[in-house]
Structure 1
Amino acid sequence: MTMRILVSRTTTLPDPIKLARFLRAPELGPKVLFFTGGTALKALSRRIIDYTHNSIHLITPFDSGGSSAKLRAAFDMPAVGDLRNRLMALADRTVKGAPETYELFACRLPRDAAPQALRERLESMLRGDDELVARVPDPMRKIIRTHLRFFVERMPEGFDLRGASIGNLILTGGYFNYDRNIDPVIYLFSKLVEARGQVRPVVNNPLHLVAELEDGSVLMGQHLLTGKETQPISVPVKRIFLTEHADDPQPTEVAIPDKTASLIAGADLICYPIGSFYTSLVANLLPRGVGESVAANRCPKVYIPNLGTDPEQRGMTLPDQVRTLLDYLERGCAKAPSHESLLNFLLVDTRHGSYGPASDLDQIRSYGLTVIDAPLVTDRSAPYLDEERVLEYLLSLV
Structure 2
Amino acid sequence: MTSSLRVWRRMVMPDPVRVHRYQSLPEQGPKVLFFSGGSALNKISRVFKEYTHHSIHLVTPFDSGGSSARLRAEFDIPAVGDLRSRLMALADETVMGQPEVYNLFTHRLPQQAELSVLRAQLQQLVAGEHSLIECIPNPMKALIQMHLAVTQARIHEDFDLRGASIGNLIMAGGYLNNQQQLDPIVFLFSRLVKALGDVKTTLDASLHLGVELENGETVLGQHNITGKETHSLPSPIKRIWLNKGLRHIVPTNRYIADDRKDAIEGADLICYPPGSFYSSLLANLLPEGVGRSIRQNANPKVYLPNLGEDPEQQGLSLMERVKRLIETVRADDPSVEHFSALDYLLLDDKYDYGDIDIAALAAMNVTVIRTPLITDKQYKYDERLVAKALLSFV
TM-score normalised per structure 2: 0.97
Structure 1 stretch 304-313 or stretch 158-167: which is displaced more? Answer: 304-313
Q: Which residue is 1:392 aligned to? A: 388
Q: Which amino acid aligns with 1:394?
A: L
Q: Which amino acid aligns with 1:323?
A: K
Matches within 5 A, 1:336-375: 336-337=336-337, 341-349=340-348, 351-355=349-353, 357-375=354-372
Distance 1:250 1:81 in 2: 24
Is the Cα contact below 8 Å between 2:228 and 2:311 reproduced in 1? Answer: no
Q: Which amino acid aligns with 1:273?
A: P
What is the CA-CA distance between 1:377 and the residue it aligns to? 1.5
Matches within 5 A, 1:130-279: 130-279=130-279
Distance 1:41 1:297 in 2: 23
Distance 1:72 1:128 in 2: 26
In the alignment, does 2:67 pair up with 1:75? no
Distance 1:266 1:99 in 2: 33
Is the Cα contact below 8 Å between 2:277 and 2:310 reproduced in 1? Answer: yes
What is the CA-CA distance between 1:74 and the residue it aligns to? 0.6
Is the Cα contact below 8 Å between 1:330 and 1:337 reproduced in 2? Answer: no
In the alignment, does 2:379 pair up with 1:378? no
SS in 1 for 2:108: coil
Segments of structure 2 that go 5 or more residues without pairing to the other structure are: none
Q: Which residue is 1:57 aligned to? A: 57
Q: Which amino acid aligns with 2:223?
A: H
SS in 2 for 1:199: strand
Distance 1:292 1:335 in 2: 11
Is the Cα contact below 8 Å between 1:111 and 1:163 reproduced in 2? Answer: yes
Q: Which residue is 1:16 aligned to? A: 16
Distance 1:172 1:94 in 2: 26
What is the CA-CA distance between 1:347 and the residue it aligns to? 0.3
TM-score normalised per structure 1: 0.96
SS in 1 for 2:144: helix
Output one character per residue of 1:275-333: Cα deviation in whole Å (capped at 9) or x when no partner: 00000000001011111100001110000111111111112111101110011101112
Q: Which residue is 1:35 aligned to? A: 35
What is the CA-CA distance between 1:4 and the residue it aligns to? 6.4
SS in 2 for 1:313: coil
Distance 2:41 2:176 in 1: 29
Distance 1:163 1:2 in 2: 53
What is the CA-CA distance between 1:176 and the residue it aligns to? 0.9
What is the CA-CA distance between 1:191 and the residue it aligns to? 1.7
Distance 2:309 2:334 in 1: 34
Q: Which amino acid aligns with 1:369?
A: V
Output one character per residue of 1:246-296: Cα deviation in whole Å (capped at 9) or x when no partner: 211121021111111011011000000100000000000101111110000
**Identity value in percent:** 50
Distance 2:120 2:130 in 1: 10
Output one character per residue of 1:156-189: Cα deviation in whole Å (capped at 9) or x when no partner: 1200000000000000000011110100100111
What is the CA-CA distance between 1:231 and the residue it aligns to? 1.4
Distance 1:382 1:99 in 2: 29
Q: Which amino acid aligns with 2:327?
A: D
Output one character per residue of 1:120-172: Cα deviation in whole Å (capped at 9) or x when no partner: 00101111111111100011111110011111111112000000000000000
Is the Cα contact below 8 Å between 1:98 and 1:194 reproduced in 2? Answer: no
Provide the aligned C-alpha RMSD in A: 1.6
Q: Which amino acid aligns with 1:324?
A: R
Structure 1 stretch 146-155 or stretch 244-253: which is displaced more? Answer: 244-253
Is the Cα contact below 8 Å between 1:347 and 1:372 reproduced in 2? Answer: yes
Distance 1:362 1:268 in 2: 27
Q: Which amino acid aligns with 1:267?
A: A
Output one character per residue of 1:63-112: Cα deviation in whole Å (capped at 9) or x when no partner: 00001000000110100001111111111222112221111111110000
Output one character per residue of 1:204-225: Cα deviation in whole Å (capped at 9) or x when no partner: 1100101110001111100111
Q: Which residue is 2:105 aligned to? A: 105
SS in 1 for 2:240: strand
Distance 1:5 1:254 in 2: 30
Q: 1:393 to 1:142 in 2, by over 3 A?
A: same
Distance 1:227 1:65 in 2: 11
Q: Which amino acid aligns with 1:36?
A: S
Give the ranges of 4+ consecutive aligned residues of structure 1 lying more than 3 Å apart after TM superposition.
1-6
